[in-house]
Amino acid sequence: MAESLDNELIAAIEKAPNAAVAMDDTVRLLKERLPHYTWAGIYLLEGDELVLGPYLGKPSPHTRIPLNQGICGAAASQKATIIVDDVNSDPRYLACSIETRSEIVVPIMRGDTVLGEIDVDSDGLAAFGDKDRQLLETVATALARKL
Ligand code: SME
């Protein structure tokens, strides 16, 4: 029986020898298995900036994002997942690629502390729903134990 992607991701993260491998494996599995994930990456919080770590997709100009900027900054500041169905209608949005239409950002938390976040973009409008939120929040919890 095929293992679910959730379980596969959790297993990969738990068996990773360190945080760098756990983050690389996470980004690779998400991008490989979910065709609507056009860009997938992880930002880590350093001081009051989110710093881009491993990612797959087009290079982003936003390698450091202050907490008061972007959808990434908003998710970290609010300590909550943000789904944007149409990035072009959201004034917070910082563009990475002109093809991007929707985005989900999920904070990686330890208790009340933000460690970083998982950021995924899609070229499709309203590409992200509850399934993506549940998957990425589960992955964020597993990653938090490794960071
Ligand atoms: N769109 C993000 C910036 C990161 S790039 O998409 C990779 C934002 O608005 O914060």
Report residue 128: phi and psi, to 5°.
Answer: -115, 135
- Exposed/middle/buried for 37, CB within 10 Å: 0-12, 13-18, 19+? buried
> Under DSSP, is residue 22 helix (H, G, I), strand (E, B) or coil?
helix
Measured from the CB, is residue 71 less than 6 Å from ligand 1? yes
* 25-79 residue pLDDT tens: 999 999 999 999 999 999 999 999 999 999 999 999 999 999 999 999 999 999 9
pLDDT of residue 96: 87
Q: Which residue is closest in CA terms to ligand 1's atom 1?
A: 94
Tokens of 8: 């596969």
Model confidence, pTM: 0.96
* Alpha-carbon span 115 to 138, nearest angstrom: 15
